[in-house]
Amino acid sequence: MTKRILIYLLIFQCFLVNFSTAYAAAPSLISESAVLIDADTGTILTQKNADKKMYPASLTKIMTAILAIEMGKLTDIITVDNETPHEIDGSHIALEAGEILTLKDLLYALMLPSANDAASVIAKHYGKSLDGFVKIMNEKAKELGAYNTNFENPHGLHNENHYTTAADLALITKYAMENETFRKIVATTRYEIQTTNKKHEPRPFTTLNKLLYNNNNNQILVNGAYISPYYEYATGAKTGYTPEAGNCLAATAEKDGTKLIAVTMKGISLEMYQDAHNLFNYGFEEYECATLISKNTFVKNIKITNGDSREISVITENDLTALIEKSSSGDIKSNVIMDDITLPIEKNDVVGKIEYTLNNEIIGTVNLISPISVKNTAVESQGNIFLAIVKFIGLLILFAGISVLLLKIYNDIRIRINRKKRRRKYNNY
C-alpha cells in the first residue's frame, strides 16, 4: 500500500513539473511599465502596467521621425530658424541659425544622438510651427489607436501634459517600423553629417541604442550572467531619458521570421536593456511564427446572380502568419465571412475575409479577393433593351422623315403636272 502511494506521488510530481515547464512565467521586469508585442499583428505577448500613463522622453521622436518621413523627402533642404539654437535644452548637435541641411541629416541626428534641436527644426519646417506639428502628432496617435497619448512637443523634453503608455508607444513603433526608411535609420549605428554652410568640419555620431553594438564597457545581468547590452537579433528603434521619465526604450528584434517590439518605461540606467533582453528572450523562446494560410490560396466558390460568370473562386490576398505560443494546447479555428456581393466586381476586389481564432481570440485576419472581373449582365440586358428602343424610335423618326419627304416630293410633282395641264388648256383656247 505504501509503495502504491509513493508511485502515485511520483506520478503527480512529474505532472506538476511538466505543467510548470509547459507554461513559462513571464519575465520579471525592473522598469515601472513595459510591454512586448508581435510586430506584425500588435498582439500583446506580455506586459507590466502597459496602460499606465508615463512620460516618454525622447521616445517621442519616433512619432516625429515617421511623420517627417511621410511628409517630406530625404533630399528636402531645410534651413535652421533663428530661435531653435537658443531655446532648445538637452541633447543637440549644435545647429546654428541659417544653417542648411537635408532632411536625411536631420533625421539621423534626431534618431541616433537624439538631437532635440533637430526635432524642433523638423517640426517647424513641416508643421509651419511647433504647435502645428504637435497637432499633427496627436491626430496621428489617435489614428493609430494610441488613445492614451498626448504630445506637447516633438522632442520629449518634460511637460506635465506630455504623456503616453507603453502599449501606445508599441503601436506607434509598430507603425513606424513598417516604413523602410525609418527601419534603415534606426538600425544604423554610425552616421556623419558633412560640412555645411555654417560648420566646416563633419559631425560624426553614434546611436545611443546599445542593443545595436557590442560594448563590453557596459554590463547587464541576464540569466545569472553579466553580458554586454548588445542583442544579436536587435533591429533598431530609440532610447530616451529625462529625470521625470527615467530611462526609456523602444526596441525591435527579429529571429527566424518572428518580429517583436519591446517598450520599457521609467527604468534605471542600463537595466532597461536587461528588461529588453528578458522580454525578447521570452518572446523568442515561448512563441513561434506559424503560417496560417498562404497568398492566392483557394478558399471557396461563391454563386453569382446576373453575372457573366456563374461563380467566383475566391482566394486569399496575402500570406497570413501569427505568433503562436509554443505550449498552446488550443486549436486554431477559421471562419469565412463573405461580404454582400454587388456587381460589377473588378479583379482583386475584396469580397470577404477569413478570421483565425485561438481559444476564442482573434489571432489573424486576411482578405479574400476575386481573381476575375465579373460584369452585371442584368444591367447590360437593360442597357441592350434601352438601346433597342432607342434604335426603334430612331427608325420610326427616320421613316417618318422619309415619308414626309416623299409626300412633299409627290405633292410638288402633282402641282407641276396640274400647272402643265392648265397651261395646255389655256393655249387651246
Residue type present at position 361: E
Q: Helix, strand or coil for residue 239?
A: strand
Three-state DSSP state, 59:
helix
**Among residues 156, 176, 115, 120, which one has the least CA distance to residue 241?**
156
The single-letter code of the amino acid at 144 is L
The answer to whether the CB of 152 falls within 8 A of the CB of 136 is: no
| Partners of residue 323 on adjacent β-strands | 289
CA distance 334 to 364: 9
Q: What residues act catalytically?
A: 58, 61, 114
Closest CA to 56 of 212, 249, 209: 249
Do residues 313 and 298 touch, judged by C-beta distance below 8 A? yes
**Which residue is listed with cell 477559421?**
334
Exposed / middle / buried, residue 198 (Cβ in 10 Å: 0-12, 13-18, 19+): middle
Q: To the nearest 10°, the Cα dihedral for 381, 384, 389, 395?
A: -160
Query: Quick one: which of 34, 21, 14 has its CA closest to 326?
Result: 21
| Residue in the block written with cell 422619309 | 402
Q: What are phi and psi of 285, to 5 degrees?
A: -80, -35
- Amino acid at the residue 373: S
Cα separation of 412 and 420, whole Å? 13
- Number of Cβ atoms within 10 Å of the Cβ of 238: 30
CB-neighbour burial class of residue 74 (10 A; exposed 0-12, middle 13-18, buried 19+): middle
Cβ atoms of 267 and 249 closer than 8 Å: yes
Decide the pairing of beta strands 246-255 and 258-267: antiparallel
